[in-house]
Amino acid sequence: MNFVFNFIMLKHYSIPVFIPELACPFRCVFCNQRKISGHITIPDTEKVIKIVKTHLVSFKKTDRWVDVAFFGGNFTGIPLFEQEAYLNVVQPFLASGEIQGIRLSTRPDYINEEVLDLLEKYHVSTIELGAQSFDDKVLKKSHRGHTASQTEKAAKAILERGFQLGLQMMIGLPGDSLESSLFTARCIVDLGATSTRIYPTVVIKETALHQWYLKGEYFTLSLEEAVRWTTKIIPVFEAGNVQVIRTGLHPSEGLVPGKDLIAGPYHPQFRELVLSEIWLNNLLNAIVGLKDSDIELIIPKGQLNYAIGHKGLNRQKLQDYCKTLKFTESAALKGREFEIQVIA
């Protein structure tokens, strides 16, 4: 089984269906599934159909790729007959071409041949594993309940069956370090993942991490540290052709700062902060020595906001290193290419 994905010129939409696995036998120190997903009730199949139809009507682009994404818990941890019921209910949308893919998230130790047989039968395209870390010390301190070798084994089994592989990671877990997180990122690349998500660890109410935080036994990364770590991790994925499909937690009703979200490097524009910081570092290195010059920075289309920085902070900092500064966009440049022109 092989899936060929062509996202060029296609608008990608994802229809999230949250199915919290409330009976998960593991209690990771950071996890309170009801708070994270923002959904307490488990949707029935009729609700799933309604969710899919509602999203399809709202999508504007016709040249698009649409995934139905079963998130919110460990999908393959629910009973097989329930997995089959959920997968079966979206088959008509797949057959009609209204959606093009099915993706789901689960734990590495919830993958086996019986599960993969079922997912293949119902045309699942992408399986995302919550790897979180490839450092066994971090996994153990986080009470994750699986080892790095189990993640490797599951990842290889998924790829051998022709599924697309996503591997999610967390930074700032108990015992974590920048070096450990970079090691995890390199492992994700080496295992052949096509996509990843980077989640900074936050303290959620009524978790073990919450108790450790109150006792002074756990300290979160500051927002500045989390941004700095992520600016070093993202280039590893970019060099390895792994798509970073999310950076930072998604704002939801289940994560209200000061209420359910107790502490940690949460920011609703975390990705923007990270990409802006990467641009700032690149541009600062390039304009050193041009303090008395009038400079025009030519930036690829779609990158201008990141180059200027969150709330214009990059522009403010860069202006200290030159006489005058102007930003322009160019369709000829790609990625983070840029040109510097000294204006006579």
- pLDDT for residue 42: 77
d(CA 9, CA 136): 40
Domain residue spans in the chain?
11-268, 275-343
Closest among 86, 162, 101, 158 to 129, alpha carbons compared: 158
Lowest mean pLDDT among 10-19, 129-138, 185-194: 10-19
Q: Say if domain 11-268 classifies as CATH 3.10.129.10.
A: no
Torsion sign, CA atoms 14, 19, 20, 26: negative
- pLDDT for residue 26: 63
- pLDDT for residue 23: 54
pLDDT at 228 over 60: yes
Give the confidence band of 273 by pLDDT, cuts at 50, 70, 90. very high
Read off the tokens for 33.
């599934």
Q: Is 135 exposed, middle or buried (0-12, 13-18, 19+ CB in 10 A)?
A: buried
Q: What is the model's pTM?
A: 0.90
- pLDDT for residue 265: 95
DSSP state of 67: E
Q: Name which residue leads in pLDDT, 31 or 233.
A: 233
Give the confidence band of 36 by pLDDT, cuts at 50, 70, 90. low
> Which residue do the tokens 């959620």 mark?
204
Task: Tell me what the mean pLDDT of segment 218-240 comes to.
Answer: 97
Beta strands in 50-179 (DSSP E): 64-71, 101-106, 126-132, 164-171
- Beta strands 324-330 and 243-247: pairing type? unpaired
* Alpha-carbon distance values, 245 to 61, 175, 238, 296 (Å): 19, 25, 12, 31
- pLDDT for residue 3: 44
- pLDDT for residue 188: 98
> Which residue do the tokens 């303290």 mark?
203
